[in-house]
Amino acid sequence: MLKGFWPPPYLSLRWKALIALSLLLIAVNVGLAALAYVQSTGQFELQQSRLRDQQARQLRAMLKEREQGMTKLATLVPLLGPADATSLNDRLTQALDTNGAVLGLEWDVTSVHWVTREGQVAIAWPGQASTLPDALLSTLRESPEKTASALACGQSCGQFIAIPLLWQGRFAGSLTLERSLADALLAFHTLTGADIGIDVVTANDGQSLLDPAQPDYLALPILTYPPRSLPILRAAGPSLMEMQRTREPVLVGLEDGWFEIFRIPGLADGVDAYVINDVTQQRLGIQAATRRSLLIGIAGIVLSELLLLLIMQAPLRRLKRLAGALPLLAEKRYQDLRADLAQFGIARSPHDEIDLMVKTVGSLTDRMEHLQQDREQAEERFLWLADHDPLTRLMNRRRFNEDFALIVERAIRYQHPGTLLYLDLDAFKDVNDLSGHQVGDGLLQRVADAINEVTRSSDLVARLGGDEFAIVLPEASLDDARQLAERAQQVIRAITIREQGRQHQISASIGIVTFPSQGKEVAELLASADLAMYRAKELGRDRWQVFSDDDKVRERLDARILWKEEIAEALREDRFTMHFQPIIDIRSRAICHAESLLRLRDRHGEMTPPDRFIPIAEQTGQIQAIDHWVLRRALTTLSEHKDLKLAINLSANAMDDPAILETLSRLLAKQAVEPSRISFEITESVAINSLTSATRLMLNIKELGCRFALDDFGSGYASYAYLRQLPVDDIKIDGAFIRELPNNREDRIFVKAVTDMAHGMGKRVIAEFVDKTQVLDILEDIGVDCAQGYLFSRPLPLEQLETWVRSNQGLRVGERA
């Protein structure tokens, strides 16, 4: 070594790479921390936006609910007065004098005004009641016979509702109720935890109480928790006025936290709401997340320096490429993913984990592509089944109603008349009874094909259920409908089926109705066509009949109206009653429980079975009130008879009734009834047609502790798959398969198969319509659990049922020696 020569300092490439990588990772981690902060802030803004929308909807919904409650209350105020009052003014005056304090205490009513039909305030309660808003009085003068509402603020805020009242059959005036808005805002605070205030903008100069330049700055008529809210509003200052223009929320930072203020405009003319949300925790959470991101980044740098750079640099590059390609799998870009995987180049030997992962991803890609194809095919099939009848491949009733409604709407809008043909096969039941359902199904398929042959592609053809079909001819005259009806009857008459030495030849009766001249609603048109079709059957079958207002068919339509009135009157006068039919355990011959069956006592005291009025109630919307009546009566009966267990029938409407679960829960608590004593029954057709809603309702009711039974099983298209989905405890086999058990081998096979399947799934089997000892013996041999029918008892009133139970304590009906 030469004297005075010093070699340059040595620095390994490893350390050079380490320094470069460290600088890079620092930059990356700082960027990721910044990105995490931006994303957290964006997520916070998104959550707050959703919260603001939710709170605005909640406030408006609360005001709307209060308005509806005031509407109901207003109709009750006249009833508080004496019935013998000579005038409505006297009746209201005495009602308010007598019960005005109750209105204030029980319903928070601050004032009541009676406005005559001339628009004058005739009664004001209490004496110091505030005057009605000018806008409300103006509305009542312009439209005196309509319900009106208003929200007005002065020193305080009030919510007003005006309801027109009749006296001796004539419009007499409007009853106006006022409730303070303060209670609603306190309820809003309780519900959401947010503070809220009301701002009033004057109409003449547009000045706001939130304008710092105004002398009455922040003198809001209503503000929840002012000691906390006023400092926040003051800190926001002029930003609140700017928010009225931009509609963007204002974020206020104070020593004790962060708060967001946003505006809900248009509660009424000149009345806006300002909501204050405490967002301190969210802001602190964002800061904490940012700090955590930085700390994690630093730890990652150290770990990357020690491991990734020195050991796994090359493998990680391949892994990163693979990770970058994996989103293609989620995006279903399978071909692009295969192309990316082909570029990896799997080593022949030895293979490592990344090579194995590449192969696995390739296999997974193939599998997911096949699964995606299968799923798409299944979805297409499911969507098709939702709109079509699987037997005839025609539209089903649900899809038909939707498309028919659009056709009727276009006919009304463009004044293009159309016709509806309602087709019902004559004596189709004979085919099923004599040759079996399989032959009947084949016949329905041939009828559907025949109808398609004589209709146009623009016509709407559907199977409504059973042997009923519907054909809609858009933009067609009555003559076109008559011609089509004759062609349809001709091709249907030509259909013959030979089975087991029998020859079946059928015909069709057709009802015709035009729209929109004879109806503008789908239900109305179907009902009219249905009635015309039955008129055709009465005239000799294999005929068509046009619906006519002068025909006796109109009398039947009027009869439905009379039934609607009869049902409404029966609900008011409590003329519904319950009969009960016992259900027997076949093995022990003991009484399991009883099924409650609805009856209606008409004006003459005669009992009317449900099949006379339930279809009308379902069409008119009265079925909900009947469902709730049945629940109340059944729970009352169970409360009064502790040893009784009941099966309660639910209608199709109950599947979509949001109040049915709440009503049941409330009644169970009120009547102190053990839920296990109740079994709810729904028919197979209702469960299948409303599968999602029925399953949801069953699960919710079973959570309360009640049981569920599937009624009339076998009458529709229920299958093992449906039984697996439906959380039922009991299966009630339809009586059509029970009556002829001794003489019908197919029925015995069906009942045996259903029983074995149900027992395998842990469900109990009940047979309906058992009226012979021989049938009971066969059911016992098959293994059916329970039986119900006239062999034991007809449906009885409660008093007679108690007598029957006492006299049949050791019941041994049909017991074999």
- Is there a contact between 198 and 153 (Cβ–Cβ < 8 Å)? yes
Mean pLDDT, rounded, for 670-699: 86
- Class of CATH domain 388-548: alpha beta
Both structure tokens of 26: 């620092």
Which region among 102-106, 191-195, 701-705 has the lowest average model confidence (pLDDT)?
102-106
Beta pairing class for 730-733 and 764-767: parallel
Residue 597 CB neighbour total at 10 angstroms: 18
pLDDT tens, residue by residue, 713-740: 876 555 566 677 789 999 999 888 898 8
Edge to edge, what strands does the sheet with 257-268 contain? Answer: 222-223, 195-200, 271-278, 257-268, 250-254
| Confidence band, pLDDT 50/70/90 cuts, at residue 672 | very high
- Separation between Cα atoms, residue 671 and residue 651, nearest integer Å: 23
653, amino acid identity? N
Q: Which two tokens stand for residue 368?
A: 């997911």
Architecture category of domain 562-798 in CATH:
Alpha-Beta Barrel (3.20)
Tokens representing 95 are 């009602």
Q: In whole angstroms, what is the distance from residue 428 CA to residue 505 CA?
A: 10
Task: Give 479's pLDDT tier (boundaries 50, 70, 90).
Answer: very high
Angle at 605 between CA 599 and CA 606, to 5 degrees: 55
Evaluate whether 704 touches 681 at the Cβ level (below 8 Å): no
Residue 222, strand partner residues: 198
DSSP, collapsed to helix, strand or coil, labels residue 410 as helix
Q: Which two tokens stand for residue 408?
A: 């009727």
> For the residues 237-266, what does the mean pLDDT come to?
84
Give tens-digit pLDDT for 109-165: 888 888 888 878 888 888 777 788 878 888 888 888 888 888 888 777 888 899 898
Q: Could you write out the DSSP letters of every residue in 551-569?
A: SHHHHHHHHHHHHHHHHHH
pTM for this model (two decimals):
0.39
Long-range pairs for 357-365: beta carbons < 8 A, 24 or more residues apart: 357/319, 357/322, 358/322, 361/322, 361/325, 361/326, 361/329, 361/337, 362/338, 364/329, 365/329, 365/334, 365/337, 365/338, 365/341
pLDDT tens-digit map of 763-788: 999 999 998 999 999 999 999 999 99
pLDDT computed for residue 538 by the predictor: 77
Least confident of 161-175, 296-310, 770-784: 296-310
Q: Say whether pLDDT at 815 is over 50.
A: no
What region does 4 belong to: left with phi over 0, alpha with psi -120 to 50, or beta? left
Q: What angle do CA 451, 452, 454 make, to 5 degrees?
A: 70
Q: Is the separation of the CB atoms in 207 and 201 below 8 Å? A: yes
Highest mean pLDDT among 279-283, 423-427, 540-544, 596-600: 596-600
Interhelix angle 13-76/88-107, nearest 10 degrees: 150
- pLDDT 10s digits, 661-670: 999 999 999 9
Q: What is the length of the chain?
A: 817
Contact predicate 188/62, CB 8 Å: yes
pLDDT at position 814, please?
40
432, 486 Cβ separation under 8 angstroms: no
DSSP state of 395: B
Is the pLDDT at 705 greater than 90? The verdict is yes
Domain locations in the chain as residue ranges: 194-278, 312-385, 388-548, 562-798
Average pLDDT of the chain, as a whole number: 83
Place of tokens 């197919």: 746
Strand partners, 116: 173
Lowest mean pLDDT segment, chosen from 17-21, 464-468, 566-570, 572-576? 17-21
Q: How sure is the predictor about 409, in pLDDT bands with cuts at 50, 70 and 90?
A: very high
Q: Write the pLDDT tens digit of every residue in 600-614.
A: 988 778 888 888 888
Higher pLDDT pick, 406 / 168: 406
Distance CA 509, CA 539 (A): 10
pLDDT for residue 806 is more than 90 = no
Across 753-784, b (16+ Cβ under 10 Å) vs e yields ebbeebeeeebbbbbbbbebeebbbbbbebeb
Q: With 70 as the cut, is the pLDDT of residue 438 above it?
A: yes
Burial of 129 (0-12, 13-18, 19+ CB in 10 A): middle
pLDDT tens, 517-563?
988 999 889 988 988 888 888 788 889 999 986 655 555 555 666 78
pLDDT-based confidence at residue 275 (cuts at 50, 70, 90):
very high
Indicate the residue type of 666: R
Q: What is the pLDDT of residue 4?
A: 46
Can you give the pLDDT at residue 645?
A: 94
Helix (H) or strand (E) run with residue 549 in it = none
Report residue 702's pLDDT band, with 50, 70 and 90 as the boundaries: very high
Q: Among 626, 670, 666, 616, which residue's Cα sits nearest to residue 648?
A: 626
Residue in the structure block whose two tokens are 């990721």: 32
- 581-637 pLDDT, tens digit each: 999 999 988 899 999 999 998 877 888 888 888 888 876 778 889 999 999 999 999
pLDDT at 785: 96
Sorting pLDDT into bands at 50, 70 and 90, what band is 812? Answer: very low
CA angle 613, 618, 623 (to 5 degrees): 85
581: phi then psi, degrees, rounded to nearest 5: -120, 125
pLDDT at position 12 over 50 = no
Q: Which amino acid is at 176?
A: T
Owner of token pair 């309780």: 190
- Kindly state the percentage of the chain with pLDDT values over 90: 27
Q: What are the pLDDT digits (tens) for 481-519? A: 999 999 999 999 998 888 766 777 889 999 999 999 988
Q: What is the mean pLDDT of residues 391-412?
A: 92
Residue entry with tokens 């601050």 = 110
Q: Residue 804: what are its φ and ψ, rounded to 5°?
A: -65, -40
- Under 8 Å between Cβ of 397 and 462: yes
- Quick one: residue 712, left, alpha or beta (phi over 0 = left, psi -120 to 50 = alpha)? left
In this predicted structure, what is the pLDDT of residue 234? Answer: 85
Separation of first and last alpha carbons in the chain: 124
Q: What is the pLDDT of residues 208-226, one digit of tens each?
A: 777 777 777 777 888 888 8
pLDDT, residue 474, reads 93
- Kind and range of the H or E run holding 743: none
Rounded to 5 degrees, φ, ψ at 585 are -75, 120
CA distance 427 to 541: 9
Q: Cα–Cα distance between 32 and 297 in angstroms, integer?
A: 8
